[in-house]
């Protein structure tokens, strides 16, 4: 059994040799006819056969190039990528200094410019987003016939159609000839490709035929790329929505900071890293918060919680993490800080909370916080339970010593990799 022909295989080379042999033999025979004393009619026949041979060769080469272009276009996925490939690979078969693409809107009422690429320096007059009605326009006629349209003198065309704004604009860019090609996918128009030249009389019927050969494929590729981009857009919105849901699920509904589960997970991640940076774990508890609720009510108490949470958040870096540990207690993770920096941040937060005033119908509510802080070195072999317990004990010392102060907890001086994880 013969293997399938691969590019550059013996079969492909043989085909090229046969084509070359055919052309070579034909030229030798025609030359012999011209050089012999033959009647004029025979010589004329020979010349016509030579022209036919050249025409067949040209059409064969065009077909091969169109197949190559088709292969290149199929490599594109996004619409812009496909249009750039068209701009790059059509140059050998259709002349142009500008290619534009306009798409028909979903409601089929307007045609909107989507993309253009050109070689000249003139300021573009038709840019992305430019739109015009489809009904009653010359573009509607092109759709109805399904055939490309050639205008080889746009200045003359504008004299006959002075109300055509798009023609006014394209002439102002310096364009003098145009080949407008409809993009039809399964009989449905999806848009247009505009090949444009700065010279008059650029386009011929052959250029129409060339585009018709590949038009359906181009239209389907554009439709496929538009669908792909819609899917990508929907997927991005879905990912964003999922991220938003995850974010919402990790947030405390009242204060907007991370909830208990999320802040504990962040803390565990800090301890699990193989090469940690030093960090601080800070527990903060609102002093006499029960009295706030008993005196002013839970609605005012909730306002106090929100205000305290916002004040703490304003005093820390974006890389730090703040969560509601429970009730009126907050847990703060300070990233990449020294022991002195941790204590300075804790003291700054304490002083900021002391300045809070929550207005009421009576006197404004003022609160203070007690703070327990523990510093964790990169090589500390401790569990999260031990770190939290250390910070909690420091917090209770602050409570027992009169509240509205910062106390530091010190971890046991144990290093290594054998600490229990929780």
State the pLDDT at residue 241: 81
What mean pLDDT, rounded, does the chain reach?
Answer: 81
CB burial string 341-370: b at 16+ within 10 A, e below: ebbebbeebbeebeebebeeeeeebebbbb
Asked if residue 209 and residue 103 are part of one domain, the reply reads: yes
Indicate whether 421 belongs to any domain: no
Indicate the number of domains in the chain: 3
Asked if residue 84 and residue 187 are part of one domain, the reply reads: yes
Asked if residue 390 and residue 315 are part of one domain, the reply reads: yes
If residue 138 lies in a helix (H) or strand (E), which one and from where to where? Answer: helix 138-145
Q: Which domain holds residue 223?
A: 79-232
Asked if residue 157 and residue 301 are part of one domain, the reply reads: no
| pLDDT, average across residues 169-181 | 93
Q: Please determine, for residue 32, whether its predicted confidence score (pLDDT) is greater than 70.
A: no
3-state SS assignment for residue 268: helix
Asked if residue 27 and residue 157 are part of one domain, the reply reads: no
Q: Model confidence over 118-161: pLDDT tens digits?
A: 988 888 899 999 999 998 899 999 888 888 899 999 999 999 99
Q: Helices (DSSP H) in 250-288: which residue ranges?
A: 260-272
Asked if residue 192 and residue 294 are part of one domain, the reply reads: no
pLDDT band (50, 70, 90) for residue 300: very high
Quick one: tokens of 116? 């253009």
Asked if residue 336 and residue 288 are part of one domain, the reply reads: yes
Indicate whether 352 belongs to any domain: yes
Q: Please determine, for residue 93, whether its predicted confidence score (pLDDT) is greater than 70.
A: yes
Give the residue carrying structure tokens 């050969």: 213
Of the segments 3-17, 66-80, 237-251, 353-367, which one has the largest average pLDDT value?
353-367
Indicate whether 422 belongs to any domain: no
d(CA 266, CA 268): 5
d(CA 316, CA 337): 11
Asked if residue 302 and residue 383 are part of one domain, the reply reads: yes
CB atoms within 10 A of CB 149: 17
The enclosing domain of 297 has a CATH number of: 3.30.70.270
Indicate whether 177 belongs to any domain: yes
pLDDT band (50, 70, 90) for residue 205: confident
User: Which of 55-64, 98-107, 183-192, 311-320 is predicted with the least confidence, judged by mean pLDDT?
Assistant: 55-64
- The Cα angle at residue 194 between residues 192 and 195, in degrees rounded to 5: 145
Q: Please determine, for residue 17, whether its predicted confidence score (pLDDT) is greater than 50.
A: no
Residue of higher predicted confidence among 163 and 94:
163
DSSP class of residue 92? G
Asked if residue 215 and residue 356 are part of one domain, the reply reads: no
Quick one: tokens of 221? 């590729």
Q: Model confidence over 234-243: pLDDT tens digits?
A: 778 888 888 8
State the pLDDT at residue 418: 39
Residue of higher predicted confidence among 61 and 389:
389
Asked if residue 213 and residue 113 are part of one domain, the reply reads: yes
Asked if residue 86 and residue 228 are part of one domain, the reply reads: yes
Asked if residue 146 and residue 27 are part of one domain, the reply reads: no
Indicate whether 416 belongs to any domain: no
| pLDDT, average across residues 290-301 | 93
State the pLDDT at residue 421: 32
């Amino acid at each position: 059994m013969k293997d399938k022909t691969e590019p550059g295989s013996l079969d492909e080379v043989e085909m090229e040799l046969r084509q070359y042999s055919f052309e070579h033999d034909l030229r030798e025979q025609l030359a012999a006819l011209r050089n012999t004393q033959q009647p004029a009619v025979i010589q004329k026949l020979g010349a016509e056969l030579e022209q036919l041979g050249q025409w067949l060769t040209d059409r064969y080469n065009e077909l091969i190039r169109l197949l190559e272009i088709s292969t290149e276009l199929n490599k594109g996925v996004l619409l812009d990528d496909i249009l750039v490939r068209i701009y790059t690979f059509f140059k050998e078969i259709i002349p142009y200094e500008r290619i534009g693409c306009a798409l028909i809107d979903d409601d089929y009422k307007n045609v909107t410019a989507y993309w253009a690429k050109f070689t000249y320096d003139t300021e573009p007059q038709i840019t992305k987003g430019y739109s015009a009605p489809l009904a009653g326009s010359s573009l509607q006629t092109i759709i109805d016939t399904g055939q490309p349209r050639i205008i080889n003198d746009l200045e003359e065309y504008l004299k006959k159609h002075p109300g055509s704004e798009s023609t006014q604009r394209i002439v102002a860019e310096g364009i003098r000839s145009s080949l407008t090609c409809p993009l039809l996918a399964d009989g449905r128009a999806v848009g247009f490709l505009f090949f444009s030249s700065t010279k008059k009389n650029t386009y011929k019927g052959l250029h129409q035929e060339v585009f018709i050969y590949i038009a359906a494929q181009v239209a389907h590729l554009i439709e496929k790329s538009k669908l792909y981009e819609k899917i990508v857009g929907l997927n991005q919105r879905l990912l964003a929505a999922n991220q938003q849901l995850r974010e919402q699920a990790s947030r405390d509904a009242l204060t907007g900071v991370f909830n208990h589960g999320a802040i504990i997970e962040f803390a565990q991640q800090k301890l699990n890293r193989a090469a940690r940076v030093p960090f601080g774990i800070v527990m903060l508890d609102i002093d006499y918060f029960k009295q706030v609720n008993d005196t002013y009510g839970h609605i005012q108490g909730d306002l106090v919680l929100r205000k305290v949470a916002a004040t703490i958040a304003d005093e820390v870096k974006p890389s730090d993490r703040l969560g509601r540990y429970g009730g009126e207690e907050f847990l703060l993770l300070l990233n990449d800080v020294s022991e002195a920096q941790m204590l300075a941040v804790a003291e700054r937060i304490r002083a900021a909370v002391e300045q809070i005033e929550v207005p009421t119908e009576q006197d404004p509510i003022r609160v203070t916080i007690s703070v327990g802080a523990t510093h964790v070195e990169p090589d500390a072999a401790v569990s999260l339970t031990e770190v939290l317990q250390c910070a909690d004990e420091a917090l209770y010392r602050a409570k027992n010593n009169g509240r509205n102060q910062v106390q530091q907890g010190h971890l046991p001086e144990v290093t290594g990799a054998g600490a229990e994880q929780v």
